[in-house]
């Protein structure tokens, strides 16, 4: 994902969180709605003054502290690893720690990793409404994900469908991941879910 796509993703996510219409933000920033749409969709590099105005309207503070980012990358990986541990208290603590930094995470290069980790936690904790919200957003930006992010995203969407008793849909997604040649870390998880569906 390039910088303009990342900036657009951050803007769209924050605008959706604040439940603001794009036309409203465009008017407040003193720009046309089509120009705002191009910025939000990552099609153009926004003028720095325009970007500053949009960030002020949406109360975004871009976070690029390398030490903090590296720490958060480790925490997100630990959360993924803890999903199928039986230590629910540990998993919940990791999630709470991540949620505590949500504002910083969604305004950093880790926005997709954070949202996928949030989907992972919520899909395995049977929190349907939260899953739907995350899936609706991430569906629109799948083309901006790395192959690894896509695999985890599809996997946790399949888990969500399994928990919603949409077993056929879940099964198809899981088998597609296996045929696609997913990375080794996710394969045991796929077989675990398939075993759950077929019993």
Q: CATH number for the domain including 152?
A: 1.25.40.10
Number of domains in the chain: 2
Last residue of a domain, one of 41, 58, 75: 58
In this model, does residue 161 exceed pLDDT 90? yes
Between CA 123 and CA 22 the distance in angstroms is 29
* Residues 70, 50 within the same domain: no
Closest C-alpha among 148, 169, 144 to residue 159? 169
Closest C-alpha among 60, 50, 10, 7 to residue 30? 50
Between CA 65 and CA 80 the distance in angstroms is 23
Closest C-alpha among 166, 163, 187 to residue 177? 187
Contact 20, 41 (CB under 8 A): no
Q: Over the stretch 66-90, which tens digit does the pLDDT of each residue have?
A: 999 999 999 999 998 888 777 889 8
In this model, does residue 182 exceed pLDDT 70? no
* Residues 91, 186 within the same domain: yes
Q: pTM score, two decimals?
A: 0.83
Between CA 13 and CA 107 the distance in angstroms is 9
CATH number at residue 20: 1.10.260.40
pLDDT at 62: 81
**Tokens coding 135:** 């899936």
Phi-psi region at 126: left, alpha or beta (left = phi > 0; alpha = psi -120 to 50):
left
C-alpha 110, offset from chain centre: 9
In this model, does residue 35 exceed pLDDT 80? yes
In this model, does residue 92 exceed pLDDT 80? yes
* Residues 48, 144 within the same domain: no
Residue-range definition of the domain harbouring residue 38 = 3-58
Block residue for tokens 């192959």? 147
* Residues 96, 161 within the same domain: yes
Inter-helix orientation angle 48-58/22-29, to 10° = 120
Closest C-alpha among 156, 55, 151 to residue 106? 55
Percent above pLDDT 70 for the chain: 99
* Residues 85, 34 within the same domain: no
What is the b/e burial string over 8-39, where b = at least 16 CB atoms within 10 angstroms of the residue's CB? Answer: bbbbbbbbeeeeeebeebbeebebeeebbbbb
């Amino acid at each position: 994902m390039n910088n303009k796509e990342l900036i657009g993703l951050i803007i769209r996510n924050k605008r959706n969180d604040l439940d603001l219409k794009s036309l409203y933000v465009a008017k407040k920033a003193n720009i046309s709605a089509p120009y705002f749409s191009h910025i939000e969709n990552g099609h153009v590099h926004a003028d720095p003054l325009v970007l500053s105005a949009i960030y002020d309207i949406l109360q975004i503070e871009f976070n690029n502290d390398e030490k903090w980012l590296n720490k958060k990358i480790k925490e997100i990986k630990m959360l993924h690893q803890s999903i199928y541990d039986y230590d629910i208290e540990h998993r919940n603590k990791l999630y709470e720690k991540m949620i505590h930094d949500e504002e910083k995470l969604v305004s950093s290069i880790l926005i997709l990793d954070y949202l996928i980790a949030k989907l992972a936690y919520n899909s395995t904790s049977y929190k349907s409404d939260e899953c739907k919200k995350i899936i609706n957003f991430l569906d629109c930006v799948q083309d901006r994900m790395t192959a690894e992010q896509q695999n985890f995203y599809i996997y946790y969407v399949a888990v969500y469908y399994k928990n919603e008793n949409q077993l056929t849909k879940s099964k198809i997604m899981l088998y597609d991941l296996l045929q696609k040649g997913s990375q080794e870390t996710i394969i045991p998880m796929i077989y675990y879910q398939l075993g759950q569906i077929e019993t």
